[in-house]
Structure 1
Amino acid sequence: MIGMMVSAAFLSACGGGGGGSGARTEYILFAGNTAPEPVRNWELWQTDGTMAGTRLLRDLNDASGGVSKSVTEQRWMAGTGFFVADDGVHGRELWTSDGTASGTRMVRDIRPGSSHAGIDSLYLIEGVVYFDANDGESGNELWRSDGTAAGTRQLVDLVPAGCSSAPGDVHGAGNIIYFLARAECEGPRVPWRLDLSTGTAVQLYETQGYISRLENVAERVFFVEQRDGRSQLWVSFGTAEQTYPVVVDEQGTQAEVHYSLWRLGASLFFAALNRDEGVELYRVDETGRRASLVRDIAEGAASSNPFSFSAIDGVGYFAADDGEGQAVWRTDGTAQGTHRVTDPAIVGPGDIYNIRAYGDRFLFTVEHAGQRSLWSTDGTPAGTLQLLNDPLVSSISQYRQVNGWLLFSALHDQYGSEMWRTDGTPEGTVMIQDLCPGPCNGY
C-alpha cells in the first residue's frame, strides 16, 4: 500500500499532450487501487489525463493490501515527488520518485527494520520536505529531507526520553519555520519557532486550552487558541514576549475566529463573530495586532458566514451569503473591492466548496441534498455553467492540472471514488478510468 502524501508533475520527451498541444506530455503521480475490499492494492501510478496514459509506475509491495491511503497532493519542483510507502520490508517510510520506475526509491529507513516510521503528514517549504517521524528512540519528532539519505535528519527533539512532541502544521520561509508540537510528554500542542541556521527552537505560547490552527504571514505567525468555548486569534513576532492577542476594536476585544485562517499575499483574512455584524470577513492590518471588518456582506446582525477561501492571482475568492443565497464572492481586502461574483438564482441552493482557478475561469462545487455538482464561471451570469450534475456523485475534491485538463476525484455510487477530468465544458467532463471496477475506490 502507498500513502501518497505529496506528488509532482513530470515531463515526457514524447507524446501528444492531452487537452493541450505541443511535443511534451506531462504526467502526475497518484496512489491507485485496483482491488476491492477486503484486499485493496494501493500502489504508485501515473497519468497524463487519458485512459491510455494511466498506468502503474511501480509495484512497491507485491503483498500490499489491507491498509487505506492518506492523500495530500501537491505539485513540486523539478520533477521530484515525495510519498510514504510500505514495501513489505522496511515498514512505512519516506520515498521519492522522479517519475520513472528506476528513479522511485526509499529515501531512508528512518526506523530500521520492518517497523513503521510513523510519518503522518508532509510539508513542502522551498524544496525541502518537513515531516514528523519516529526513529525508534526519540518518539515522533520533526524531521526534514532534501530527497537524499544524507539530507534526511531529525531537526529537534523537543521532549526527550522517548516521548513524542507530535509536530505538525509546519510553515515558514528561509531559515525560519513555525510549527505546532507538544512541550512535554502529555498536553496540548503549542506554537514553536525554529531557526534552521542555529537549530534553536523557541516556544511562543503556553495554552490552557489547545491550538487549532496556525498560519505564517511574512515574519509573523498567527494561531487560534480554543479555550473556554471561544476561538481567539493570536500573533507572534518570534518570541514568547512578542506574542499578542489580535484585537478588533479600541476596547481591546480579541478577535474570535470562525472556520479557518486564510492568507492572501502579505495579509491574513478570517471569519469573525461580532454581535453587531454577525459572522463576517475580517482582515488583519499591517501591524499584525489589529483586525477590521472588510465588508458587512449580510447587513446588520445577520451573518454571511464566509468560508472556503482561495487565493487566485492576488485576489481572494470565498463563499458567502448576503441574504439572497450562497454565492462566490471576491475581495482585494477593501470594502469597495469586495463583491459577489456568481448569481444564486443561476447556481441554485447549496453550499459552495473547492474554489479553484482554471485558465481564465475558476471552478467550484455546490453541495445540495447530499449531491455535489461542478460549476465553472468567468465571473458573469452568462459565463456561469454547470459542468457535472450527476445525482450519484456525492463528493468532488483533489483538483490537479495536467496537459490542459483539470483532474479531480469524484465519489460516485456506481463507480466509487475515481479520477475524473474536465476541459471546462460539460461534454469534456468525464471519468478517466474506473481503476477499481465497480463501487470500490480506485483513487
Structure 2
Amino acid sequence: MAASTAATVAVACVAMFQAVTKEGDRALYFSDGATTKKLIDLVDAPGADAYSFTSVGKGNVLFSNTSEAAGRELWITNGAAAGTRLLKDINPGAASSSPGGGWSASRNTRFETIGDRAIFPAVTKLQGHEMWTSDGTAAGTQILTDQLPGPGNGAGHPPANPLVFSNGAFAIYSDFGSNIWATHGIGGEQVLKWKSGVAIYPGLGTVGNRILFGPDLWVTNGTAARTRSLKPASSPNWRVWSISRLRGMPYALLSVTTNSVDSRELWVTDGTEGGTKRLGNVNLYNWGSNNDPFVKIGSKVYFVATNVIANNPAGQELWVTQGTAATTKRAVVLAPTPQFTSFAPLGSKLYFTAKATQEGYSFAVNRAFVTDGTTAGTRMLSTLLTPAGPLLSLHNRVVFPVSSSGQVALWAAGSGLAAPVKVSYNFSKIVGMQNVEIRSPNGVNTPCAK
C-alpha cells in the first residue's frame, strides 16, 4: 500500500506496470482505472524489466529500472514523462546496484517504506551488498549502515537478498550473520542476535504498532528491551508460516502448524504470550511460503479455509473473523467449489478471482467475483473474462489483466460501472503491476484506498 502523502500535494492512485506490445516494444504505463497512459519507453533487453514501484510521498514513485549507461539502478517518477529519470547511480558506472534485488511473482518488491522514506538492499563495488534508504532525492539516497565495512556483503549477498519488513513506523531486516536489526530509516539498532543460520522468514506481520517475525514468533517494538518470544511452551513443534499484515489492528492472524503432519491452523495473537491461541477449529488453505491473504474490510478480516465441513471435504471457502472464536465463521460458499487466486478490498466490498467449473467448460476457468461477505451477495463479474493476474485496488475501482486470444489487456470494475470495462490497449505481456500514488494531473486528490 502506498505511503502517506503530504496534504498540500494532490495525488492520484494508479496501477503502474511494464507492458510489451505485440510488436515487441517495451514501455512503462499507468492506469487510473478509466484510462491507461504510456509513461516512457524501456530498454529492450533480457532482464531489463522495470519493477518494485514504491510511493515515497508527494506523488513520487521509486522503482528499479535499467539503462545502457548505468545498468539496473534507482529511478523516480511523478507520473509525467519529464519527471521520470534515474534518481541515483548507486553503483557508479555501467555496473548495476540492483536496488531491491530481483523481481518474482511471489514477492514483487523488496522496497519497504518508513513514513516517506524507502528502505531496500543494493550493491556497490566499495561497500558490497548493504541496506540503503531514499527520500526521493539524490542527496537523500544513501547507505543506511555498512554492516560489514568494506566490499563484504553485510546484508547478505545476491541473489539471497536480505529480508526487510516495515510497519510504516520502523523496519526490521536481517544481515548476513543472521542478526536482526531495526531502523527508523536513518540508522540501524541491533534488536537481537538470533541463532546463527536461522532466518526471520517465514512469518512477518504486524500487531498494533509492533512487528511480528519468525517461524517461532517473536514480537518487537524496534528495541532490544521490548523484543520477546511468543511461542507457546506447550507446543514444541509449533511453527508459524505466515502472519497478517493489517496495520493498526489490535490482533494478528497466524497460519500455524503444530507438528509435521497437521494442516495449517488459524491462530490469533495480541502480541502477548497469553493472547496467542488457536482460533476455533479452522484449517487454512496452504498458499505455500508466501503470505496467506488476510484481507481487511472495516472491522472484519477475510481468509480462505479448507477441509472444514463434511459435505465439502476438499474445497475452499471464504471465511471471516473479528479476532475471536465467536466471530470466526464461514462467510461465502460457491458452488462448485473454487480455487481462490487473488483478492482486492474496495470500500465495503471484496473483489476476488477464483478458478471454478463453469457451464460449457470441461475444466476450471479463472473468473472475477465481487461479494458483500455473504453467499447471496456474491456474484461473478463476467462469464467471459479470464483474469490473467492479480486484482489491484485503486481509489474507487479495481483493475486486473485479462487474457484473450494470446493477448492481455487491463480491465476495471467498481464505482460507476455496471460491468467490467476494458481500459487499456492489447499487449503481449503485463509485468509487475502495483498500486502507487503519482501527482494528480488534474489537481483532484484521489489517493489509494486504505
TM-score w.r.t. length of structure 1: 0.77
Contact 1:283 1:292 in 2 (8 A): yes
Residues 291-319 of structure 1: per-residue CA shift (max 9 Å, x gap): 2011113xxxxx45474211232321101
Q: Secondary structure at the match of 1:137?
A: coil
Mapped to 2, the partners of 1:253 and 1:199 lie a distance apart of 32
C-alpha displacement at 1:172, in angstroms?
A: 4.2
Mapped to 1, the partners of 2:128 and 2:257 lie a distance apart of 39
1:261 partnered with 2:243: yes
Residues 35-81 of structure 1: per-residue CA shift (max 9 Å, x gap): 45xx844322233334xx3222223x5x5333353645566643211
2:445 matched to which residue of 1?
none
Distance 1:193 1:171, change over 3 A: same
| Greater shift in the superposed pair: 277-286 or 263-272 | 277-286
Over the matched positions of the two proteins, sequence identity in percent amounts to: 24
Q: 2:373 aligns with which of 373, 376, 379?
A: 379
Distance 1:240 1:202, change over 3 A: closer
Amino acid at match of 2:256: A
C-alpha displacement at 1:126, in angstroms?
A: 0.9
C-alpha displacement at 1:282, in angstroms?
A: 0.4
1:355 matched to which residue of 2?
343
1:293 partnered with 2:288: no
Mapped to 2, the partners of 1:179 and 1:247 lie a distance apart of 21
C-alpha displacement at 1:129, in angstroms?
A: 0.9
- Size of the aligned set, in residue pairs, is 395
CA RMSD of aligned residues (A): 3.6
Q: Secondary structure at the match of 1:182?
A: coil
2:232 matched to which residue of 1?
248
Q: Secondary structure at the match of 1:381?
A: coil
Mapped to 1, the partners of 2:32 and 2:225 lie a distance apart of 51
1:132 partnered with 2:112: no
What does residue range 23-172 of structure 1 map to in structure 2 within 5 Å? Answer: 26=12, 28=14, 30-36=16-22, 40-50=24-34, 53-59=35-41, 61=42, 63-67=43-47, 69=49, 71-72=51-52, 77-119=57-99, 120=101, 121-164=110-153, 165-166=155-156, 167-172=162-167
Q: Secondary structure at the match of 2:244?
A: strand
Q: Secondary structure at the match of 1:158?
A: coil
1:364 partnered with 2:352: yes
Residues 340-387 of structure 1: per-residue CA shift (max 9 Å, x gap): 211234xx2122232321232111121345632111111223211011
1:177 partnered with 2:157: no
Mapped to 2, the partners of 1:65 and 1:6 lie a distance apart of 29
| Greater shift in the superposed pair: 152-161 or 198-207 | 198-207
Contact 2:11 2:59 in 1 (8 A): no
Q: Secondary structure at the match of 2:373?
A: coil
Larger radius of gyration: 1
Contact 1:58 1:101 in 2 (8 A): yes
Q: Secondary structure at the match of 1:45?
A: strand
Q: Which has the higher contact order (CA 8 A, sep 6+)?
A: 2
| Greater shift in the superposed pair: 27-36 or 336-345 | 27-36
Mapped to 2, the partners of 1:128 and 1:97 lie a distance apart of 15
Residues 190-216 of structure 1: per-residue CA shift (max 9 Å, x gap): 532236566444444124443323334
What does residue range 405-424 of structure 1 map to in structure 2 within 5 Å? Answer: 405-410=397-402, 412=403, 414-423=405-414
Distance 1:95 1:27, change over 3 A: same
Residues 263-295 of structure 1: per-residue CA shift (max 9 Å, x gap): 341322112234799532101134257520111
Mapped to 2, the partners of 1:278 and 1:46 lie a distance apart of 40
Contact 1:6 1:81 in 2 (8 A): no
C-alpha displacement at 1:394, in angstroms?
A: 6.4
Distance 1:385 1:74, change over 3 A: farther
Q: 1:432 aligns with which of 405, 423, 432?
A: 423
Mapped to 1, the partners of 2:185 and 2:119 lie a distance apart of 12
Contact 2:391 2:398 in 1 (8 A): no
What does residue range 272-311 of structure 1 map to in structure 2 within 5 Å? Answer: 272-274=256-258, 279-288=264-273, 291-297=276-282, 303-305=283-285, 307-311=292-296
| Greater shift in the superposed pair: 371-380 or 267-276 | 267-276
Contact 2:4 2:115 in 1 (8 A): no
Q: Secondary structure at the match of 2:214?
A: strand
| Greater shift in the superposed pair: 105-114 or 280-289 | 280-289
Distance 1:304 1:172, change over 3 A: closer
Q: Secondary structure at the match of 1:341?
A: strand
Residues 165-223 of structure 1: per-residue CA shift (max 9 Å, x gap): 2333231444x42112312xxxxx45322365664444441244433233344464322
Unaligned runs of 5+ in 2: 102-109, 157-161, 287-291, 357-362, 432-450
Contact 1:234 1:244 in 2 (8 A): yes
Mapped to 2, the partners of 1:124 and 1:143 lie a distance apart of 12
Q: Secondary structure at the match of 2:293?
A: strand
Distance 1:68 1:148, change over 3 A: closer
Q: Secondary structure at the match of 1:69?
A: coil
Mapped to 2, the partners of 1:154 and 1:127 lie a distance apart of 16
2:195 matched to which residue of 1?
206
Mapped to 2, the partners of 1:152 and 1:139 lie a distance apart of 16
Unaligned runs of 5+ in 1: 14-23, 184-188, 226-231, 298-302
C-alpha displacement at 1:143, in angstroms?
A: 0.5
TM-score w.r.t. length of structure 2: 0.76
C-alpha displacement at 1:255, in angstroms?
A: 3.1
Mapped to 2, the partners of 1:427 and 1:71 lie a distance apart of 32
Q: Secondary structure at the match of 1:211?
A: coil
